[in-house]
Structure 1
Amino acid sequence: MATLDEVGLGDHVCWRMGPAATFADARAYLADGALYGDKVVVIGSHGTAGIERDGSPSTSVVLDLPDAMDMDRMLAAVRREVHTATREGFRSVRVLTERMPPTAASGAEELLAGELKLDEFASESGAMVVCAFRPSRWDRTTLDGVACMHPHEVGTRAARPSFRMFSTGANRWSVDGVVDSEGAAAFNAAVRAAVRNSPMVKLGFNDLELIDAAGMQALVEAARHLPGRRIVVEGANETVHLCWELAGYAAADLPVVMAT
């Protein structure tokens, strides 16, 4: 996306903020709520967001959550706003939230699992969700991995993530782009997060251009990370099928099935 003006129903967007950017730069995205009949939900205080209350849509709601890393709590609060908005006759909900980097070593996996939940929520509810990231506060590798969990991206960036993984239904995820040695670690973390949320997931490879040996190993290791997990891969092209077989994965007793 070129700007936040292009955000549409069901979109989950990674906004990499520039050095001088503030939440006030999203004012047009929020103001469009009144134009299209959407309820606006800003997660964080107006002081933190940099958006003055008198400049916000009259239909806006501010959720000042004490623990910004608690995705389950945040989602529960936003779902309540969606239900309220539906009863009140709004078309949808526009969410704006700033995501903060994890402070614990185990926080990166929690973060990715949360982003997948948020993407699934946007896909199923039709809500618009913009996650703002200040690159100066983030480790670049972690931020690049998180960006892969968003179907859309806007703002400053060095290069497009080699792959993206996003929701296409309950426990179903589409993977596009290229999963190679450069993106294998992020892909492993993303799939581990997906199987953490559900014991059985389906990955759609219809738009995947390439997955190399490192990517396939990352997939297998992610499936083995937790006991009782199963991954079904659908839509893989002939080249991916051939590479999978040549690597010996098709004949092995693995919790990953490459559907024909």
Structure 2
Amino acid sequence: MRAARALARLDEVELGDHVCWRMDPAATFADARGYVADGALYGDKVVVIGSRGSTAIGRDGGRPGSVVLDLPHPADTEVLLAAVRREARTAVREGFRSVRVLAERSPSAAPGGAEELLARELKLDEFASESGAIVVCAFRPTQWDASALEQAACLHPHETGARAARPAFRMFSTGADRWSVDGVVDSECAAAFNAVVRAAMRCTPTVRLRFDALEIIDAAGMHALVDAARHLPDRRIVVEGANETVRLCWELAGYAAVGVPVVMAA
């Protein structure tokens, strides 16, 4: 079972991990040389995607069979996902244990690009969960709006690097169209929660959220959840694993009613 956790170093990764690497201002991609070199140790095919600096360590530190991809649009998660899926299929045929991805992530400037990026980040996490691939997404905080980076970070169950802006909650794949919510969803992060749930609603008509590891969801968080479900017609959310207190608060808030597209399962 996947669980959210912080990593002191990139060499602590495990199969199926999807890591948000918040790069410190002084950090460079040379700091990931050990992660890349471990591909040879564990029998993983290394796939490096991103800037000149990131691809350079792939060329220097990868084993024979490693791949360096200079994608024309590295900010496009759909392009990135298609590339790593292709390399994962090839890795199986070539006898590798798995793929070990290092990808530099950049914000999208296209209209509606922020929500599209989140939807595709969810697909990338689902890929890591299903395939057992290790995916490290490198973020340079200086390139990102703080709220956009917070939302993107919420969709990575694992993190390393700068910790000052650790997200209050995380939402990550635990199966097809199933997502675990870990941490706290309150008024301070309700907008981010609304954004990531809306992104999930774009991917499937029914989203199943597991609340087993959720510590708190307050009134603002509940409103954000219902608002996200109402964002698209003919979609719904099924919440599973909520504790008795959460279910009671849900009923008292009036959400356990016909017409509300969120079902709080027992």
Common fold, TM-score beyond 0.5?
A: yes
Matches within 5 A, 1:54-93: 54-93=60-99
Deviation of 1:95 (Å): 0.2
Name the residue aligned to 1:212: 218
Give unmatched runs, 5+ long, in structure 1: none
Moved more, 248-257 or 217-226: 248-257
* Structure 1 residue ranges (4+ consecutive) displaced by more than 6 angstroms after TM superposition: none
Name the residue aligned to 1:170: 176
The answer on whether the counterparts of 2:59 and 2:68 sit within 8 Å (CA) in structure 1 is: no
Does structure 1 residue 222 correspond to structure 2 residue 257?
no
Instruction: Choose which of 188, 197, 203 in structure 2 pairs with 1:197.
Output: 203
Normalised to the residue count of structure 2, the TM-score between the two structures is: 0.94
Deviation of 1:54 (Å): 3.5
The count of aligned residue pairs is 260
Does structure 1 residue 234 correspond to structure 2 residue 240?
yes
1: CA distance between counterparts of 2:59 and 2:211? Answer: 45
Normalised to the residue count of structure 1, the TM-score between the two structures is: 0.96
The answer on whether the counterparts of 1:166 and 1:173 sit within 8 Å (CA) in structure 2 is: yes
Amino acid at match of 2:94: E
Instruction: Choose which of 33, 37, 43 in structure 2 pairs with 1:37.
Output: 43
- Cα 1:119/1:245, change in 2 over 3 Å: same
Deviation of 1:249 (Å): 0.3
Amino acid at match of 2:134: M
Does structure 1 residue 124 correspond to structure 2 residue 130?
yes
The answer on whether the counterparts of 1:45 and 1:62 sit within 8 Å (CA) in structure 2 is: no
1: CA distance between counterparts of 2:13 and 2:220? Answer: 34
Moved more, 36-45 or 7-16: 36-45
Does structure 1 residue 9 correspond to structure 2 residue 25?
no
2: CA distance between counterparts of 1:17 and 1:45? Answer: 14
Deviation of 1:252 (Å): 3.9
The answer on whether the counterparts of 1:7 and 1:128 sit within 8 Å (CA) in structure 2 is: yes
Give unmatched runs, 5+ long, in structure 2: 1-6
- Cα 1:57/1:24, change in 2 over 3 Å: farther
The answer on whether the counterparts of 2:106 and 2:139 sit within 8 Å (CA) in structure 1 is: yes
Deviation of 1:49 (Å): 3.6
- Cα 1:228/1:52, change in 2 over 3 Å: closer
Moved more, 37-46 or 1-10: 37-46
Task: Describe the SS at the equivalent of 1:33.
Answer: helix
Instruction: Give the root-mean-square deviation of aligned CA atoms.
Output: 1.3
Deviation of 1:201 (Å): 1.1
Moved more, 49-58 or 112-121: 49-58
The answer on whether the counterparts of 1:14 and 1:132 sit within 8 Å (CA) in structure 2 is: yes
Instruction: Choose which of 157, 162, 165 in structure 1 pairs with 2:163.
Output: 157
Matches within 5 A, 1:102-117: 102-117=108-123
